[in-house]
Amino acid sequence: MIRGLSAPEILSIWEVAQHQHPVKLALTILNMVLPELSSDELLHLSIGQRDAYLLAVREKTFGSRLASYAECPHCHERLEFSFDVADIQVQGTADGEQQHVEQLASVEGYELRFRLPNSLDLAAIAHCRELAIAHTQLLQRCIEQIERDSVAVPLEDVPEVVISGLAECMTHCDPLAEVLFNLSCPACKQEWSVLFDIVSFLWTEISVQAKRLLLEVHTLARAYGWCEAEILSLSVTRRQFYLEMVT
């Protein structure tokens, strides 16, 4: 059962994760709220499972309503949209059960044995500048065996249609690994979809909240002489009350 982040935890994540790669940042956050999982277990969570946990952290910390914006690719109109965690949360993805299970797919007569991409895979391709190369490397890491008529086939001999069929299958097995929103521009009626990235979304919120907390500490410490730990241990209600008294 996941819990939300406390004020000291938000500050501590913000402090240590300033220059972390998003793959590492996601683990820093989960390490904090899931002490029962080892770092190794966290690394091996499928990306969809990792993101399901992050969504749960977000919900418990900042609430279930998420607001975002996108720019229309056609007329550049700024479009604001909001959604609920429940709209993207898929039943059973946060139970941590299928993470090590090998997956099987049958595409166009090819039998493929694979596992779902995890944080180690994302870290391994993080240095890749070209999307196509990153994509191939990711598949190479995740495909364990390809056979046709019980004969092993190397990845480079597999037709493109089979590879895209496999990519679809991976998305189906781990739906939260890629959350897309279909948007429609009210100004020019252009329709397009945007990728929702919980890691960067949550990081932005943590950064904003951390700076707000530090400002509150500054204000209250100056007025009352309390130390940082004392101020952060106050409930939100009490802290707000004192802030109203001094500002």
* Chain contacts with Zn ion (rule: CB under 5 A): 72, 74-75, 77, 185, 187-188, 190
CB 43 within 8 A of CB 120: yes
In the complex with Zn ion, which residue's Cβ is closer, 72 or 170? 72
Minimum distance from residue 77 beta carbon to Zn ion (Å):
5
Minimum distance from residue 192 beta carbon to Zn ion (Å):
9
In the complex with Zn ion, which residue's Cβ is closer, 90 or 188? 188
CB 51 within 8 A of CB 94: no
CB 144 within 8 A of CB 113: yes
In the complex with Zn ion, which residue's Cβ is closer, 72 or 162? 72
d(CA 67, CA 236): 22
d(CA 122, CA 127): 9
Minimum distance from residue 84 beta carbon to Zn ion (Å):
25
In the complex with Zn ion, which residue's Cβ is closer, 191 or 230? 191
Place of tokens 């897309």: 180
d(CA 153, CA 163): 13
Minimum distance from residue 172 beta carbon to Zn ion (Å):
31
